[in-house]
Amino acid sequence: MHRFAPTAVSKSLSRFLQTVALAAFVASVLPAVAQAAASDKVVKKQRGATAGKRVSQNAVVTAKRSPAALRVAAPARLSFGQLLGLHSTQDQLDLKSSVALVIDQDTREVLFSKNDSAVLPIASLTKLMTGMVISEAKLPMDEVITISQDDVDTEKGSSSRLKVGTTLTRGEALHLALMSSENRAAHALGRTFPGGMTAFVTLMNSRAGLLGMNDTRYVEPTGLSSRNQSSAKDLVTLVSKAHQDPVLREFSTSPGYQMAVGNRTLQYNNTNRLVKNPDWDIGLQKTGYISEAGQCLVMQAKVSGRKLIMVFLDSAGKLSRIGDAERVRKWVESNPVTAPAVGTVVRQVNG
């Protein structure tokens, strides 16, 4: 960048442009600016135009920092699936997920598939592998761990009711991570693992490799990073293996859990409303969302007497992943021994 000494003309021009920019901003954003402008008018009467000008500028700065102003100005971020054009793929069930895969858990027969080889961010579906590593390590579940500043999300700025300094058992942290997708709990599980976070993430990737999940990569245990990626085919393998673990089954399908924190009792609920739905018999599940991944859902469920594994990735809309699962369930119930969906390939899925 070139620098130059300001002249009287350039200074005047700069002030003029700043005034124009400030006026445009005030005219285009939230009511707080209008209120500030009204206050500015009073101040002008009391203190003169010069003081009033300073207050007006301060009000604009305040408005710029306002979360409401930021929400108005922030553009919608496209998911990886949208950027790759995966949502243009049509299917006979009109699913809103750009990636889907449904298999029979016992026979490994593919009943439905859609872009099942696409490698995408998987958000909090990551926590299934986090849970698997913790459970298989046979660490004491009653050991107390403490939420630290290191567990605070700096990736997405997500909130948590587990304040820094909160103590809970490893079992409680695993329960909250799988049931309520609690990010600080999941991060604390990795941070307090023998060898620390580096060893934990290395083990996550090693476990994926041993399972043959060749499309999968993990960089942290929560799923907040878009660099945690996998394919529907790999996730079917993960769900199938995780379903063999009774701890993961119990914690992921728990409808709710109360935890005492200091003088308070916190009520946590399952992020998947289908676990409370009597029409569903769910053996294991996990939801996930970050903007890069879209809405995600994996489940093991019994439908029409068949044990199914369902994977839905990059669904558009907050409730659309649930709607997609309902469409698949009703389709299987109306066609209990049907051949695979039109456009899919009859094959077996290993895992």
Which domain-ending residue is among 55, 73, 91? 73
Question: 310 phi and psi, to 5 degrees?
Answer: -120, 135
End-to-end CA distance of the chain: 57
Q: Based on the domain organization, do 54 and 91 belong to the same domain?
A: no
Q: Based on the domain organization, do 224 and 125 belong to the same domain?
A: yes
**Which has the closest alpha carbon to 229: 119, 124, 127, 307?**
119
Q: Which of 98, 180, 181, 226 is catalytic?
A: 181
Q: Are 247 and 236 in contact (CB under 8 A)?
A: no
Give yes or no: 66 in active site.
no
Q: Based on the domain organization, do 181 and 41 belong to the same domain?
A: no
CA distance 78 to 13: 39
Residue 289 falls within a domain, yes or no?
A: yes
Q: Which of 56, 124, 180, 226 is catalytic?
A: 124
Give yes or no: 44 in active site.
no
Q: Based on the domain organization, do 65 and 85 belong to the same domain?
A: no
Give yes or no: 181 in active site.
yes
Q: Which of 127, 233, 241, 286 is catalytic?
A: 127
Residue 2 falls within a domain, yes or no?
A: no
Q: Based on the domain organization, do 36 and 131 belong to the same domain?
A: no
Q: What is the mean pLDDT of the chain?
A: 83
CA distance 111 to 347: 9
Residue 187 falls within a domain, yes or no?
A: yes
Q: What is the CATH number of the domain that holds 105?
A: 3.40.710.10
Q: Based on the domain organization, do 97 and 52 belong to the same domain?
A: no
Number of domain units in the chain: 2
Residue 54 falls within a domain, yes or no?
A: yes
Q: Provide the 10 A C-beta neighbour count for residue 175.
A: 24
Model pLDDT for residues 236-258, shown as the tens digit of each residue: 999 999 999 999 999 999 999 99
Q: Is the pLDDT of residue 48 over 50?
A: no
CA 343 to the chain's CA centroid: 30
State pTM to two decimals.
Answer: 0.76
Q: Based on the domain organization, do 249 and 290 belong to the same domain?
A: yes
pLDDT at 20: 38
Residue 97 falls within a domain, yes or no?
A: yes
H-helix segments, the chain: 8-28, 31-47, 49-65, 67-73, 80-83, 126-136, 170-179, 183-191, 196-210, 232-242, 246-253, 320-334
pLDDT at 257: 94
CA distance 240 to 234: 10
Average pLDDT of the segment spanning 78-87 = 96
Residue 122 falls within a domain, yes or no?
A: yes
Q: Based on the domain organization, do 119 and 242 belong to the same domain?
A: yes
Model pLDDT for residues 255-306, shown as the tens digit of each residue: 999 988 878 899 999 999 999 999 999 999 999 999 999 999 999 999 999 9
Q: Based on the domain organization, do 105 and 60 belong to the same domain?
A: no
| Domain limits for position 315 | 80-334
Q: Based on the domain organization, do 133 and 276 belong to the same domain?
A: yes
Q: Based on the domain organization, do 51 and 132 belong to the same domain?
A: no
pLDDT at 317: 82
Could you tell me what percent of the chain has a pLDDT over 70?
A: 74
Residues in the chain, total = 351
Residue 339 falls within a domain, yes or no?
A: no
